[in-house]
Amino acid sequence: MEQRESGVVERKRRRRKCLLVFGVVLLLLLILALALGLTLGRSSGGIKNTFLERCQKFKDLNCQNVWDAFQQAYIDRDPCSIPGDAYEPFITALSLKLQCNRMMFWSKTKDLVHSFTQKQDCFVTVEDVPLGAILDGLTWCGKEGSKETFTTGCPGWSDCANNPVRSFWNQASAAFADAACGDVSAMLSGSIETPFSPGSVFESIEVRRLRSPKVKRMNVILVMEENAVTNCTNASLENLQKVLNAGISYGCKEVTEAQIHKCSSDPKIACGACW
């Protein structure tokens, strides 16, 4: 009798222990799932938040509509077959304004040109208008059979030609160049062998879209650093003149990096007086 009694107690105790372990494991799994869900949620929610925050800095934009137009370019599609024109509804929603005499193109001078355009209200690059500002530095893609935006596991710039990010920048650069008028500028680097660099967005897209008589002149600002290897006589810049639409005049100026920094930090220097 005593034996049986203690047997029952023992079994009850074991069952309770079993339940406890089961409960703890369940709780841990729940926490893990929650944490995973949160990080996943945050990574796709992250790009939408960034997008909307950047968009809302510009007045007159219906940012929810802009986001919807953006998403439909790549959502539920193979991330290696996004053509540039998939972004047309998004580009249209942002209605690029003509920026006569203020447009600044760049190649291999990204940080310098932006430190200049962001401090001096003289020139605008594609990254200074909503079209480029909203997506600068971001990565995104969709997947077939999913309604989500992914920010990791997306094809890189050169993994496949028609990836969502590359197709976007090609299309955006073309639209930006199409909106150019008057005198345009281009900040190129004197620290590389070939300042008019073959295959760059500037060389392969932007320069080729400029049309005379809407565009009158191309002013190249060749940035000379301590380690400059070339100058305005470089043959690649002769190629640039050949590619330019007939009727667009051309000029090139060598400007030191120090001079550009000086112009960025001195608001008294008038627009265009830096070179």
Residues annotated as catalytic (active site), given as ranges? 100, 181
Q: Cis link prior to 213 (omega < 30° from 0)?
A: yes
Task: Count how many residues are written for the chain.
Answer: 275
Nearer to ligand NAG, 134 or 186 (CB): 186
For ligand NAG, the closer CB: 80 or 192 = 192
- Residue 196 C-alpha from the chain's centroid: 22
Interacting residues toward ligand NAG by CB under 6 A: 193-194, 229-231, 233-236
**Residue with smaller CB distance to ligand NAG, 15 or 253:** 253
Residue 55 structure tokens = 């968009």
Instruction: List phi, psi (to 5°) of 255.
Output: -130, 130
Q: What is the dihedral of CA 189, 193, 195, 196, to 10 degrees?
A: -160
The token pair at 78 is 């193979």
**Residue number with the shortest CB distance to ligand NAG?**
236
For 89, residues 6+ apart whose C-beta sits below 8 A from its C-beta are: 69, 72, 73
Instruction: Name the phi and psi angles at 198, rounded to 5.
Output: -60, 135
151 conformational bin, left if phi > 0, alpha if psi -120 to 50, beta if neither:
alpha
Q: How far is the CB of 236 from ligand NAG (least distance, A)?
A: 3
Distance of closest approach, residue 204 Cβ to ligand NAG, in angstroms:
15
Of 171 and 194, CB closest to ligand NAG: 194
215 by DSSP, 3-state: which?
A: strand
CA 168 to chain centre: 9
In a 10 Å sphere around its CB, with 0-12 CB exposed, 13-18 middle and 19+ buried, how is residue 220 labelled?
Answer: buried
Q: Is 145 exposed, middle or buried (0-12, 13-18, 19+ CB in 10 A)?
A: exposed
